[in-house]
Amino acid sequence: MATQKLLLLPGDGIGPEVMTEVQKLISWMNKTGMGSFETESDLVGGSAYDAHKVAITDAAMKLAHESDAVVFGAVGGPKWDKVPYEARPEAGLLRLRKELELFANLRPAICYPALADASSLKRDLVEGLDIVIVRELTGGVYFGEPKEIVTLENGEKRAVDTQVYTTHEIERIGRVAFEMARKRKNKVTSSEKRNVMRSGVLWNEVITALHKREYPDVMLEHQLADALGMQLVRWPKQFDVIVTDNLFGDMLSDVAAMLTGSLGMLPSAALGATNEKTGKRKAMYEPVHGSAPDIAGKGLANPIAMFGSFAMTLRYSFGMTNEADMLERAISDVLDQGLRTKDIASPGQNAVSTTEMGEAVLKQLQKIAG
């Protein structure tokens, strides 16, 4: 088995705690020969700022470029509220996404039956939910220029962010969504605000044309982003794959996360284009939850989203489908056994620590792998 190079970027807040559990998993996989990983770690976010006054160093970026996959924890926290805008913790994450050209963000939202009662929605609405949000990740208002605050002649200030998309950017994210749908329930819902935004008009046109040209076998529907937000909480099981831009995808994926019971459950993958010569693609895997500074360092964090992100690493970067399936099954089994971290425990239910949850998942995986 070829050795895979992983760059681990635990980041801030609960990032290092959940990453520790994945490191134990990686060591175990190496020891048993289930995998062959070489890992390096570096700083990102506030921790990088404290050490180097930047959100990520050029040296860490070089490691990211050279790795087969980046496994990312979380960044940010009130401690860095006052650092210069360019060096804020999130800038490290955004630089990784942009420079590695990770344009396709896959955010699956799966509601485990054991957790249907942890959702703020009724059990019937969310039990068995299995949808994926395909979020465009390197364009739109996150990166469009100009992006600035200027002072006008009258002393007033004026802030500008620019929403911008090209045909090519819309087509390549559209393809990811259609391809994904073909392996699932074959339905894509594309979302924008064509009723008020030019970029929405183009998005709609490009997706419609791409569908007609290359994916007529896939069911396609369009929903305005506000209506989609409403439908996501009204009847989420109507969806299969949702494709949308960077900003709408950011918001809608937080909504989708909560349907599953907790933000602590959702993994994600950020993928680049496949290199035609090497067949490889740049990729970064990251739990959707943030750094949760309020619970950091207390052993309360839920490591499941981080494990789920590692399962996606196995699946999408290394084609280790069996191993990914086993890890996902281990997570689901442990939940069936009733183990809960605080974020997913019902009132009065006993909650386990990050380490206890991590070790239970690993133990279950060992059992499954037999």
Query: What are the catalytic residues?
Result: 142, 193, 226, 250, 254
Query: Among residues 93 and 314, whose Cβ is nearest to ligand IPM?
Result: 93
C-alpha closest to that of 190 among 363, 182, 205: 205
CB of 96 to ligand IPM, least distance (A): 11
Amino acid 97 reads R
How many whole angstroms separate alpha carbon 252 and alpha carbon 230?
10
- Which CB atom, from 97 or from 193, has the smaller least distance to ligand IPM? 97
> Does the protein bind ligand IPM through residue 90 (CB under 6 A)?
yes
Nearer to Mn ion, 250 or 328 (CB): 250
Q: Does 250 contact Mn ion by CB under 5 A?
A: yes
What's the min distance (Å) between Cβ of 321 and ligand IPM?
26
Q: Which among ligand IPM, Mn ion, none contacts residue 161 (Cβ within 5 to 8 A by kind)? A: none
Whole-angstrom Cα distance, residue 217 to residue 132?
A: 19
| Among candidate residues 338, 332, 360, 359, the one with its CA nearest the CA of residue 350 | 338
Q: How far is the CB of 278 from ligand IPM (least distance, A)?
A: 27
Sequence-separated contacts (24+) of 77-80 with Cβ below 8 Å: 77/12, 77/13, 77/46, 77/291, 77/293, 77/296, 78/293, 79/46, 79/293, 80/12, 80/45, 80/46, 80/49
Strands, DSSP E only, in 166-294?
187-192, 219-224, 241-244, 269-274, 281-285
CB of 250 to Mn ion, least distance (A): 4
Residue with the CB atom nearest Mn ion in the bound state: 250
Q: Does 12 bind ligand IPM (CB under 6 A)?
A: no
Encoding tokens for residue 258? 């909560």
**250 makes contact with ligand IPM (CB under 6 A):** yes
Residue 96 makes contact with ligand IPM by CB under 6 A: no
Residue numbers at the binding site for Mn ion (CB under 5 A): 250
Residue numbers at the binding site for ligand IPM (CB under 6 A): 90, 93, 250
